[in-house]
Amino acid sequence: MKFTLRIWRQRGPNERGGFVTYPVDDVSSDMSFLEMLDALNQRLIVAGEDPVAFEHDCREGICGSCSLVIDGVPHGPDRGVTTCQLYMRRFVDGATITIEPWRAKAFPIIKDLVVDRRALDRIMQAGGYISVNTGGAVDANTLLIGKEEAETAMDAASCIGCGACVAACKNASAMLFVAAKVSHLALLPQGKPERTRRVMAMVRAMEREGFGSCGNQYECEAVCPKQISVRFIALLNREYLRASLTETRLSTRSDSSHGESY
């Protein structure tokens, strides 16, 4: 197969970027999309040119490293897969394919197709955990959790943190990401004691990082490689409302629900 690739090249965070066109031939339909880019890079290196920087690691759709916008769609034309799980047999021979990085204010470009996604980690650090010490846990079966509840929590917990939801959103909102994280813990009994603090802290961190607000367009759900449902956004909104009320009530008292200040 043969393709014409239009790839976004940008030397560094503060440099101007632009599209560069590369013809590739000799592409086998069994190649993955990233293997095709590997082949292009091998050619560029031997020619003494700078290879295209892009992220990848597991190459099986779970680590969340790969992050390409392909013909305008994060992770490309197929639903429910990451870029690394996309195969060339999916494309029409001879096509022109445009490849861009995730674009969002909160994800500055490092080089070419590589962006800085640490903002997502900082949201997690703000409250995306259950604060239990190692060693103090009770027997795991002491806590009974219904199959349905566990499965729903697992649906939310499947998020791979790739950031496609942000890249797909016109407002570059991280709502689906935060919703998945908040819902995972809010749905489980272990997560209940800190739910008020958690949702407030994570939503505030999201705003601080410069992610936009949710416009209810649901492009995020459409591109999510783990098909995380927007109903978790509704759940997040409920959690947030509940927490705001609790917080207002608590702030009239001297201590917070968490026993520490925000």
Q: Which listed residue (5, 74, 99, 117) binds another protein by CB under 8 A?
A: 117
134 binds another protein per the rule CB under 8 A: yes
Q: Tell me the closest approach of the beta carbon of residue 163 to another protein, in angstroms.
A: 10
6 binds ligand FES per the rule CB under 6 A: no
Of 260, 248, 124, nearest to 182 (Cα)? 124
Distances (CA, A) of 249 to 15, 69, 115, 133, 182: 49, 45, 41, 29, 21
200 or 214: whose CB is closer to another protein? 200
Q: Tell me the closest approach of the beta carbon of residue 204 to ligand FES, in angstroms.
A: 29
Q: Which of residues 160-219 bind another protein (CB under 8 A)?
A: 160-161, 184-185, 188, 190-191
81 or 97: whose CB is closer to ligand FES? 81
Q: Tell me the closest approach of the beta carbon of residue 94 to ligand FES, in angstroms.
A: 26
The rounded distance, in Å, linking the Cα atoms of 205 and 6 is: 35
121 binds another protein per the rule CB under 8 A: yes
Of 172, 198, 170, 169, nearest to 183 (Cα)? 198
Q: Which of residues 9-38 bind another protein (CB under 8 A)?
A: 12, 28, 30-32, 34-36, 38
Select the span of 91-99, 113-121, 207-215, 239-247 touching another protein (CB under 8 A): 113-121
CA–CA–CA angle 244, 166, 189 (5° rounding): 45
Of 20, 57, 22, nearest to 37 (Cα)? 22
Of 22, 57, 63, 58, nearest to 43 (Cα)? 22
- Beta strand 18-24 with 3-9 is antiparallel
Q: E strands of the chain, at which residues?
A: 3-9, 18-24, 69-70, 73-74, 96-100, 109-111, 114-115
Select the span of 62-70, 93-101, 212-220, 243-251 touching another protein (CB under 8 A): 62-70
Q: Which of residues 48-107 bind ligand FES (CB under 6 A)?
A: 56-59, 61-66, 82-84
The rounded distance, in Å, linking the Cα atoms of 99 and 91 is: 14
Sign of dihedral through CA atoms 78, 84, 90, 92? positive
75 binds another protein per the rule CB under 8 A: no
Q: Tell me the closest approach of the beta carbon of residue 10 to ligand FES, in angstroms.
A: 21
87 or 218: whose CB is closer to another protein? 87
Point out which residues bind ligand FES (CB under 6 A): 56-59, 61-66, 82-84
